[in-house]
C-alpha cells in the first residue's frame, strides 16, 4: 500500500522531505523613523513595532544585523508636511539621515527606502493633486525623481516606489543613471492594491488621505490580469525586482507573478496582517510562534524570493 504517512513519521524524516523553508537572508524588516523625537513612540496597533529616532533606527539596524537580518526598508515620518511633500526630497531629511547613519554603522546592510509622497503631503495622497482633486501623475513622478536622487546620494542600495503612478520606473531609472547612480536598484511595488490592510501603517506614518481614497491609483482588489500587466510594464521600464502588496490576501498574485516572470518577486506582509495576528495571539487565540512560522512559509511556498515583514526580527531571533 502506498502510505504517504511514512514520510511524516518523525521530525528528522519530515525535515528531509520539507519543500520550503524561509531563510533569514530573504527577510526585510521595515523601520519607521521619525524626525521629531516626540513622534518616536510605540505604535499601539502594531505591538512590538515602534517609530524610532535616527539614532534609534541605527541601533535597531545593529540588532537586526546581529540576528542575521541584512536588509531593512525605511519609512520616514517628517516634522513638516505640505501640499507637494517637499520634506521628502530634503537632502537632510529623516530618511536621508537614516540611510547615511545605517550605511556608516553597517556598510554590509542592504538599505532600502520606500519611495512615496504620502507621508510627506498634508493631504495624505501619494502626490500633488490637480484641479480635479486627482493625484497628478507627471508632477508626482518629478517629485519621486528628486527624492530618489537624494536617497541614492545618501547611499541607499534599493529604492522601492510605492505610489503606483504610470511610467515612474523608467523615469526614476533614467534619472538615477544620469546622476551616476547606476548601481541603485529599483524594487517596484508592481502590484499594490487599494487595501484595507494598510490601516495600522497609516496610523504609524500619519498618512491617511484627508479626502477620498487611493482607488484612483492603487489597484482594484479583484484584478489578477491587471497585476500581470502592471508588472510586465515595470519590468520593461527597468525594474530590478517586483513587489506584491498586501501579502496574505494576495498569495495568488505572488504565484501568478512567479510563474509569469523571471525577476525576483517580493511580497509585503503589511501592517494589517501583522495587527490581526498579534491581536489574536495577545488574546491567546493562536499559538504565536506557530502562526508566524506558518505565515512566513506561506510566502515562500507561494513563490516569493523576498519577504518584507514586521515579523522578521522575531522570526530571526527564534530561527536565524
Question: Does position 112 bind ligand PBG by CB under 6 A?
Answer: no
Residue whose C-alpha cell is 498586501 = 246
Cβ-contact 172, 162 below 8 angstroms = no
| Alpha-carbon distance values, 106 to 11, 43, 98, 158 (Å) | 37, 26, 12, 15
Stretch touching ligand PBG by CB under 6 A, among 11-19, 47-55, 57-65, 195-203: 195-203
Looking at residues 207 to 226 of the shown chain, list those that interact with ligand PBG (rule: CB under 6 A).
207, 214
Q: Can residue 301 be called a binding residue for ligand PBG (CB under 6 A)?
A: no
Task: Tell me, yes or no, if 245 is annotated catalytic.
Answer: yes
202: contact with ligand PBG by CB under 6 A? yes
> Taking the complex as a whole, how short is the minimal distance between the CB of residue 246 and ligand PBG, in angstroms?
7
The DSSP H or E segment spanning 147 is helix 137-154
Angle of helix 54-66 versus helix 94-105 axis, rounded to 10: 40
Owner of C-alpha cell 508566524? 292
Instruction: Tell whether residue 201 is a contact of ligand PBG (CB under 6 A).
Output: yes
Going by DSSP bridges, is the β-strand pair 27-34/185-192 parallel, antiparallel, or unpaired?
Answer: unpaired
Is residue 119 within 8 Å of residue 207, measured between CB atoms?
Answer: yes
Q: Contacting ligand PBG (CB under 6 A), which of 35, 60, 84, 114? A: 114
Rule CB under 6 A: say whether 158 interacts with ligand PBG.
Answer: no
E strand map for the chain? 27-34, 51-52, 71-77, 110-115, 158-161, 185-192, 241-245, 265-269, 306-309
Identified binder of ligand PBG from the candidate list 77, 158, 191, 270, rule CB under 6 A? 270
Instruction: Single out the segment in contact with ligand PBG by CB under 6 A; choices: 4-12, 13-21, 112-120, 275-283.
Output: 112-120
**Residue 45 is a binding residue for ligand PBG (CB under 6 A):** no
Task: Report if residue 118 touches ligand PBG, rule: CB under 6 A.
Answer: yes
DSSP state letters, 88-121:
GG-TTSHHHHHHHHHHHH-TTSEEEEEE-STTTB
Please report how close the Cβ of residue 271 comes to ligand PBG at its closest, in angstroms.
3
CB nearer ligand PBG, residue 106 or residue 185: 185
**Given 81, 103, 192, 313, the catalytic residue:** 192
Binding residues vs ligand PBG (CB under 6 A): 114, 116, 118, 162, 198, 201-202, 207, 214, 270-271
Active site residues per annotation: 192, 245
Amino acid at each position: 500500500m502506498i502510505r504517504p504517512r511514512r514520510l511524516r513519521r518523525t521530525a528528522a524524516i519530515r525535515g528531509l522531505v520539507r519543500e520550503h523553508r524561509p531563510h533569514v537572508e530573504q527577510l526585510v524588516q521595515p523601520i519607521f523613523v521619525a524626525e521629531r523625537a516626540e513622534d518616536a513612540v510605540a505604535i499601539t496597533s502594531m505591538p512590538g513595532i515602534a517609530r524610532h529616532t535616527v539614532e534609534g533606527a541605527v541601533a535597531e539596524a545593529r540588532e537586526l544585523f546581529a540576528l542575521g537580518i541584512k536588509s531593512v526598508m525605511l519609512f520616514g515620518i517628517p516634522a513638516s508636511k505640505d501640499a507637494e511633500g517637499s520634506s521628502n526630497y530634503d537632502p537632510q531629511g529623516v530618511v536621508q539621515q537614516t540611510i547615511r547613519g545605517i550605511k556608516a554603522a553597517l556598510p554590509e546592510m542592504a538599505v532600502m527606502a520606500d519611495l512615496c509622497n504620502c507621508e510627506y503631503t498634508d493631504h495624505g495622497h501619494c502626490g500633488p493633486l490637480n484641479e480635479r482633486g486627482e493625484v497628478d501623475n507627471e508632477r508626482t513622478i518629478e517629485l519621486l525623481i528628486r527624492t530618489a536622487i537624494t536617497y541614492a546620494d545618501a547611499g541607499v542600495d534599493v529604492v522601492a516606489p510605492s505610489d503606483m503612478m504610470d511610467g515612474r520606473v523608467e523615469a526614476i531609472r533614467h534619472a538615477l543613471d544620469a546622476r551616476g547612480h547606476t548601481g541603485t536598484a529599483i524594487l517596484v511595488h508592481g502590484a499594490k492594491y487599494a487595501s484595507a490592510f494598510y490601516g495600522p501603517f497609516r496610523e504609524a506614518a500619519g498618512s491617511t488621505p484627508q479626502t477620498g481614497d487611493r482607488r484612483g491609483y492603487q489597484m482594484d482588489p479583484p484584478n489578477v490580469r491587471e497585476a500581470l500587466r502592471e508588472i510586465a510594464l515595470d519590468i520593461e521600464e527597468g525594474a530590478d525586482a517586483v513587489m506584491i502588496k498586501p501579502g496574505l490576501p494576495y498569495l495568488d498574485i505572488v504565484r501568478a507573478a512567479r510563474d509569469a516572470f523571471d525577476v525576483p518577486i517580493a511580497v509585503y506582509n503589511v501592517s494589517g496582517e501583522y495587527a490581526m495576528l498579534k491581536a489574536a495571539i495577545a488574546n491567546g487565540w493562536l499559538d504565536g510562534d506557530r502562526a508566524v512560522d506558518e505565515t512566513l512559509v506561506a510566502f515562500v511556498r507561494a513563490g516569493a524570493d523576498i519577504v518584507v515583514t514586521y515579523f522578521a526580527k522575531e522570526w530571526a531571533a527564534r530561527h536565524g
